[in-house]
């Protein structure tokens, strides 16, 4: 299975068990297609979210790094699929607080705590570390991306204070006027994150043209996740 970074360029030929990667990047020239027979789900994954470019050299940090380390002896990073990305604790622009360091003095403004996403995700691990590093009096509430966005949208429509764990690019950044809280201890993000194409060790020898495609194919931030970085509508 070809995940997020490739799925909009691929179509499954179920009757032949093949993927066809379409477009100039697929074969290095316009109008040519690349057929790759029987790429299994276990062969290729294109959404490994980790910090910095270190993973290309085997230095796995942040995001999904803990999961990747467990299978590091069996995989290879073929290239970057998306990024750079940022993450943090975010609030609507109308909230006066500027920094995570100020939160304990204004904890009563956030009775719902810090609205998070899926428990165990890299973002939530960073948020948990942040709660501990700043000794925050606020609870970190796990949930899902959809629930987090719904809570933010509801509070925003009522001009209420709310704080969420989020990342960029994400469509909500183009829908709402919002910002990250400053993070002087850099516990939410020490450096930008990237998503990587991850393959099995023998993928390149089995699918050399697919490997060549993956080393070149990267989704721009303004396309990824529905124009997450396009804030021009709010700059007027």
Q: Which of 40-44, 88-92, 211-215 is most confident?
A: 88-92
* String of DSSP letters for 147-167: HHHHHHHHHHHTT---EEEEE
Q: What is the DSSP letter of 81?
A: E
155 beta partners: none
The CATH architecture assigned to 86-180 reads 3-Layer(aba) Sandwich (3.40)
Joined tokens for residue 177: 């006027």
Could you tell me which of 20, 61, 23 has the C-alpha nearest to residue 38?
20
pTM, to two decimals: 0.72
44 beta partners: 199
Residues of the chain with CATH 3.40.190.100: 86-180
pLDDT at site 2: 35
43-47, 93-97, 201-205: range with lowest mean pLDDT: 43-47
Give the end-to-end CA distance of the chain in Å, rounded to a whole number: 42
């Amino acid at each position: 299975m070809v995940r997020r970074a490739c799925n909009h360029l691929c179509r499954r030929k179920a009757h032949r068990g093949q993927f066809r990667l379409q477009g100039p990047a697929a074969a290095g020239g316009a109008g040519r297609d690349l057929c790759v027979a029987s790429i299994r789900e276990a062969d290729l994954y294109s959404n490994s979210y980790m910090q910095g470019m270190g993973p290309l050299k085997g230095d796995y940090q942040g995001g999904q790094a803990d999961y990747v380390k467990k299978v590091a002896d069996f995989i290879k990073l073929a290239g970057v699929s998306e990024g750079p990305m940022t993450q943090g604790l975010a609030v609507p622009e109308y909230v006066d607080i500027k920094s995570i360091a100020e939160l304990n003095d204004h904890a009563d403004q956030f009775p719902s705590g810090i609205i998070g996403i899926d428990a165990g995700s890299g973002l939530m691990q960073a948020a948990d570390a942040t709660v501990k590093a700043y000794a925050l009096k606020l609870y970190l509430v796990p949930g899902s991306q959809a629930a987090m966005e719904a809570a933010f949208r509801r509070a925003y429509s009522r001009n209420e204070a709310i704080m969420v764990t989020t990342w960029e690019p994400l469509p909500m950044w183009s829908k709402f006027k919002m910002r990250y809280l400053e993070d002087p201890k850099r516990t939410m993000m020490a450096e930008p994150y990237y998503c990587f194409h991850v393959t099995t060790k023998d993928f390149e020898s089995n699918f050399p043209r697919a490997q060549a495609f993956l080393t070149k194919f990267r989704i721009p931030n303004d396309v990824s996740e529905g124009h997450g970085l396009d804030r021009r509508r709010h700059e007027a």
